[in-house]
Amino acid sequence: MKQPIQIPSGEKIRLKDFDPDYTGKYEDKDGAKAQTEKNIARLAELQEVMYAEGKHALLIILQAMDAGGKDGTIKQVMSGVNPQGCRVTSFKAPTPEELAHDFLWRVHQHLPPRGYIGIFNRSHYEDVLVVRVHNLVPKEVWRERYEHINNFEKLLADNGVTILKFFLHISKDEQKQRLEARLEDKSKNWKFNPGDLKERALWDDYMAAYEDAINKCNTPWAPWHIIPANKKWYRNLAISERLIEALESLDMKYPPAPEGIEKIVIE
């Protein structure tokens, strides 16, 4: 059964209806490898045109449970792009200065300018996810943030920012295996955080929070995508396809050459 990746605006979803092991028409990594490599190369071409034209920006938002693959996605899918035109921001717990402002203040400072790709490893959605699950603010506060987020993202879209939001959907069993791998592999020990186990115990609460975030903030100008992410190779393929589709739809072109360039002679 075919499983949607981009969720149509207005359609309500339940995460339990989405299989994190889904791999579409591909049966294994080998079958998807060639297409993924083509996608990465194509993404590099499109980024160069976007940088040269300077009319559009792309904001990629990655959200997932711990060990969901946000870092791996950035490393693999964006491996071909020019670092000069790509900025990655990882949002941790807010600083005292950030807490002294509205919850979107710290995010606005890291938005990509025209011509650039911006990648958020976690994002403003933490303020309706972790804040909600841990009761860091009253319900009446975080509940109003969905509308604030939609308006904020509409402002960005109206100013030339293409927004793509990806929820990397892994199963609880897959998370267990990935966390165990961090314990067993000395080269991955540094990635293990004991606090991840406390968050894991709140799995069901997080799933409910993610469902609400997707259902309430899935708009035509900033769509949510549910990426089956148990298989890393399919995750990379699916995301690269969506990025290419979005960038090609912008119909970008290189700027015209300076007038009289055909007469220039370099001695």
Residue pair 168/62 in contact (Cβ under 8 Å)? The answer is yes
The pLDDT, as a whole number, for residue 85 is 96
The pLDDT, as a whole number, for residue 258 is 83
Q: Does 111 fall in a domain?
A: yes
The pLDDT, as a whole number, for residue 188 is 85
pLDDT by residue for the chain (267 residues), tens only, comes to 689 999 999 999 999 999 999 999 998 999 899 999 999 999 999 999 999 999 999 999 999 999 999 999 999 999 999 999 999 999 999 999 999 999 999 999 999 999 999 999 999 999 999 999 999 999 999 999 999 999 999 999 999 999 999 999 999 999 999 999 999 888 888 888 888 899 999 999 999 999 999 999 999 999 999 999 999 999 999 999 999 999 999 999 999 888 888 888 988
End-to-end CA distance of the chain: 64
Total number of domains constituting the chain: 1
Q: Does 198 fall in a domain?
A: no
The pLDDT, as a whole number, for residue 115 is 98
Cα–Cα distance between 116 and 47 in angstroms, integer? 8
Q: Rounded to the nearest 5°, which phi and psi values hold at 134?
A: -100, 10
The pLDDT, as a whole number, for residue 187 is 87
Q: Does 158 fall in a domain?
A: yes
What's the CATH code of the domain at 150? 3.40.50.300
Q: Does 7 fall in a domain?
A: no
Q: Does 188 fall in a domain?
A: no
The pLDDT, as a whole number, for residue 113 is 97
Q: Does 6 fall in a domain?
A: no
Q: Does 249 fall in a domain?
A: yes
The two three-digit tokens of residue 173, written as one number:
């069993």
The pLDDT, as a whole number, for residue 129 is 98
Q: How far is CA 110 from CA 104, 107, 121, 225, in A?
A: 11, 6, 12, 22
Q: Judge residue 239's burial from the number of C-beta atoms within 10 Å of its C-beta, 0-12 exposed, 13-18 middle, 19 or more buried.
A: buried
Q: Does 23 fall in a domain?
A: yes
Domain coverage including residue 113 = 15-175+204-255
